[in-house]
Structure 1
Amino acid sequence: MSTNDKLIFIMIDGLRFDTAVDNMGYLHHLVEKGQASRFKVISEVPSMSRPLYEVLLTGTPPYQNGITSNQIVRGSKEESIFHLTSKNGLKNATASYHWVSELYHSAPFNPMTDRIKLDGNGTIQNGIFYWEDHYPDTHLFADANYMKITKDPDFLYIHSMNVDDDGHKYTADSAGYRNRVIAVDVMLASILPDWIAEGYQIIISADHGMNKDGQHGGTTKEDREVPLFVISSKLEAGIYEEEVPQLQIAPLVCKLLNIQASPAMQALTIPDLM
């Protein structure tokens, strides 16, 4: 279990709750052995990617923040976790899809100039960004580990895209989608033990799910139910039956980082936090 306030937030794009429960054996090993907790999160709607990136990182709903579709390409007007960590003197870093750069660094994204940011300044202090949905998760986690080693961040945000990509290609009811979820779990089994041993708290969640048509955006449980795994000494391990609103994720991140949430965020209601 962690012994400090450092946090790695892993966001697995397009990961359904039930698919995670059925196929992520390593994460559930940690739950069964008292090393992690698991929740079911209900995403905001529309259950689309860019609006939910903003939800996860600012704790504000789409009608308020204005990021209501994937087609809105502009910087966020809200106070994000990246803003808050910088304001509180913490170091942040990310290995993420380019829409994260557009929200919190520079929009529109230019692959020739915006892929790598390592200057330690700005809202996102250090980032490595990709722009193709099939960019391998193996490369992404290597990018993230590089950021951890070289920048020693207090907050590291990792955005994995391959589960979503295969869900669109093959639908949620497919071997391709389920096998990709297993592959991510295997990668986590390879890298999380070291990160946990170094004292990092870990949270793993998703923006939205995936339906049998290989799409998302609506109000069904397939679209909206996603997992939340928390590895931290600040939270009692085990399976929690309470459904967690997605707007709770950002204030949870602030609590684990030991920083004040923004005034726009909900009061934190997740039980058993120490």
Structure 2
Amino acid sequence: MNGADNLQQEQAPAKRGELIAVCSAKGGIGRTVLAVNLAVALSKNNIQIALLDGDFQFGDVSLAMDLQPTFTIKDVAESMDAMDKHTAASYLIRHSSGVKVMAAPERPEQADLLAAPALGTVCDLLLAQHDYVLVDTEVGLKESTLLFVEKADQIFILTTLEMAAIKNTRLMLETLEALGLRHKVQLVVNRATMDSVIKATDVPDIVGIEHPYYVPNDFAIVAQSLNIGVPFVQNHGKTDIAKSIFKMAEQLISRREISLFKPKQPSFLNSLFHRTKGSTT
């Protein structure tokens, strides 16, 4: 490689993936299940996916993927002075799907050791080496979650057809609007086929968000998935619930490809050739 190649590499813009923050205003409505299965569904498209367990007190990503991490984000934060994107990669644990996981701390009290600047740096390091970084956040809008949603390219907010979930979701959306972040929001109506006096198609009007994703209710599949630590998009790919996640992944990738597409400008010589050719015919 010559000096010109080195200079070209130095001048090339740094690669940056997309950050997706998976959030909810109420616990127990499927946030971790969505984050894990969407990450695995995205990885099937031969792209680099990282999943950060952002529930630093009671994160369940490792459990949901049957992983026994050697390192956690606490270890990364403690070594931040010597951290770069290559060093950060050594703290990730690889799932059989190819998804690389940054695990939550082992103990709830260790969450207090994670300062906001370190979390922001971790996100940047992961984004430098992955096409998508998904963050399974804590419930609500705690300080760490606010950091993630501010850095996010897209914010996936889960709700269900339960009245409490819808009420809290609406309050969360109002808060994000006040913060100038609502334009990033994508609503996900989970358990959309469950029995309820509220219909899934009524939710967009109630909370004021159009074109949500709908994920059907399948308690048996989800419970089994969590109990054995195998994301259902891996071993139940033909079920309706898995198909809804695959559809979500396809739309995300299509949107990213459109945003990255820039028509190549014809070179001066190419333009001159076509102009000359056109004048001689």
TM over 0.5: no
Compute the TM-score of the two structures, normalised by the length of structure 2.
0.35
Which one scores higher on RCO, CA 8 angstroms, separation ≥ 6? 1
State the TM-score, normalizing by the size of structure 1.
Answer: 0.36
Which structure has the greater CA radius of gyration?
2
Which structure has more helix as a fraction of its residues? 2
Q: Which has the higher strand share?
A: 1
